Structure 1
Amino acid sequence: MDSQRLAPMPADWQRALAVVAHPDDLEYGAAAAVAEWTDGGREVVYLLASRGEAGIDTLSPEECAPVREREQRASAAVVGVRTVEFLDHRDGVIEYGVGLRRDIAAAVRRHRPELVVTLNHRDTWGGAAWNTPDHRAVGRAALDAVADAGNRWIFPELGEQGLDPWNGVRWTAVAGSDRPTHAVDVTAGLERSVRSLLEHRTYIEALTREDPERYCRTFLEGMAKDAGERFGGRPAVTFEVFAH
């Protein structure tokens, strides 16, 4: 890992909107930071483009969607998130385009966050593994929708629906980036992030034969320790932060 020291995440905000493609996307790291934020009295809303219905080979999409939605809501509650919304784009074939941008811009206008959080929008994970089309599409659309939400002439139909423009997003923070600029000390939130990921038990049990709790703990603690090497030795979650 690059030895450049990471800056602390901005702290002078009250509301965040986290926008990702699937149930579990936020739990693979970012949820530890969410726990820290909600402990500090901040409000975080989750927006998921799909219900993750194509994520479990042994369950049909019709069976899978309600299971994954239920597990996502339980997972969010562990880290203090009360509001979880789903856009119902089709899992696995989410397309970047004006429709997705509009849906995310509408949520930004509705919730009026100062911080938007999303997941790695680039082609690869650090050049070592290919990223999924859904992650790329949603990450890019989230970054673009921040500007869309503030421009009354882009998607004017949103204004007609009572969703006034919102120019108050000050940062977009990309989790899972191989170009991190900032980090959050997750000493207090790490244990709850393990429990939060563990709520996706149906998905995890289909993913690995390893004991689910050991799988969650090993992954999250290892990642936080690695990130901490650039953040004063404290367990951390990293973000690439874009200012607006």
Structure 2
Amino acid sequence: MTDSPLPPLRPMPDDWQRALAVVAHPDDLEYGCSAAVASWVADGRQVAYVLATRGEAGIDSLAPERARSLREAEQRAAAAAVGVSTVEFLDHQDGVIEYGVPLRRDIAAAVRRHRPELVITLNHRDTWAHGAWNTPDHVAVGRAVLDASADAGNRWIFPELTEQGLLPWNGVRWVAVANSPAPTHAVSAEPGFEQGVLSLLRHRTYIEALTEEDPETYARRFLADSTSAHGSRFDGRRAVAFELFSR
């Protein structure tokens, strides 16, 4: 008996105007979905970034104080490469983010502040598609994004946010999870591919600590491989794939 072929990936919804991407670390979006963000911004949509940490624990050779400022600057440059100008940091501690009420509150506040129709995050599942174990930070933030997208619309949850002027927002229609092992939808990576490469390349300090390969060669190869992985399910095209949850 052979396994049944996986179904085609459906096109992502395009009847929205505002998106908010919430992830754990600098570089999560650039490894995950920056080519899609580039094409959305080019189409005139608004996208804002919120990061739970400043990535201070991400480079073994750099002390956290030094890594924090470098990685923040690289993230802002990476966002600018795909046309995103709004980048915020929640200042949770890198490597030990805890899923719980404080994290949900911070993300719900960001949702109320930016009032998106589409919320984007990174894989919240225990493993990646190839079976490797995911990190606790990704799992905690991804789960909290799914929950906080609903929390943001309930006036009885986190009423202190209302007192701060952040009124409830029940307008989130979808949460899209990038790099999920169980994708359902996709966006063509071709229009924004070159910007995606430039965006990942802005994390030069991180890449140079990660590999001895030439940074541009590394960034281009990584994104070519990752966007080709789901091509057979998306009319043979390079694709940025998402697991889409409707609300």
Aligning the two structures, in what range does the TM-score lie when normalised by the shorter sequence? over 0.9
Output the CA distance in 2 between the equivalents of 1:41 and 1:2: 36
Residue type of the partner of 2:228? K
Task: Report the counterpart of residue 50 of structure 1 in structure 2.
Answer: 53
1:105 to 108, 120, 124: 108
Query: 1 CA distance for matches of 2:216 and 2:232?
Result: 24
Give the aligned partner of residue 216 of structure 1: 219
**Which residue is equivalent to 2:204?**
201
Task: Name structure 2 gaps, 5 residues minimum.
Answer: none
Provide the aligned C-alpha RMSD in A.
Answer: 1.0
Contact 2:32 2:122 in 1 (8 A): no
Residue 51 of structure 1 aligns to a residue whose secondary structure is coil
User: 1:72-110, CA deviations, whole angstroms, 9 ceiling, x for partnerless residues?
Assistant: 000000001010000000000000000000000000000
Q: Is the 8 A contact 1:29 1:193 kept in 2?
A: no
* Structure 1 CA distance for aligned equivalents of residues 60 and 228 of structure 2: 32
- Secondary structure of the 1:237 match is strand
The SS at the match of 2:29 is coil
| Residue 89 (structure 1) aligned with residue 85 (structure 2) | no
Aligned residue for 2:25, secondary structure, equals coil
Is residue 241 from structure 1 mapped to residue 233 from structure 2 by the alignment? no
Please report how far the alpha carbon of residue 134 of structure 1 lies from its aligned counterpart in structure 2 after TM superposition.
Answer: 0.2
Alignment of 1:158-169 (within 5 A): 158-169=161-172
The answer to whether the 8 A contact 1:123-1:136 is kept is yes
- Correspondence list, 1:42-191, <5 A: 42-126=45-129, 128-191=131-194
> How big is each residue's C-alpha offset from its partner over 1:134-163, in whole Å with a ceiling of 9 and x where there is no partner?
000000000000110000000000000000
State how many pairs are aligned.
244
SS in 1 for 2:152: helix
1:227 positional shift: 1.6
Structure 1 regions of 5+ residues with no counterpart?
none
Tell me which residue corresponds to 1:229. Answer: 232
- The TM-score, its normalising length taken from structure 2, stands at 0.97
Following superposition, the deviation at residue 120 of structure 1 comes to 0.3
1:39/1:96 Cα in 2 relative to 1: closer, same or farther (>3 Å)? same
The Cα shift of 1:4 comes to 1.4
Between the two proteins, what is the percent identity of the paired residues?
71
Evaluate the alpha carbon distance shift between residue 2 and residue 212 of structure 1 in structure 2; reply closer, same or farther with a 3 A threshold: farther
Moved over 4 A (4+): none
In structure 2, the residue matched to 1:6 is 9
Shift of 1:2: 5.2
User: Where does residue 23 of structure 1 map in the other structure?
Assistant: 26
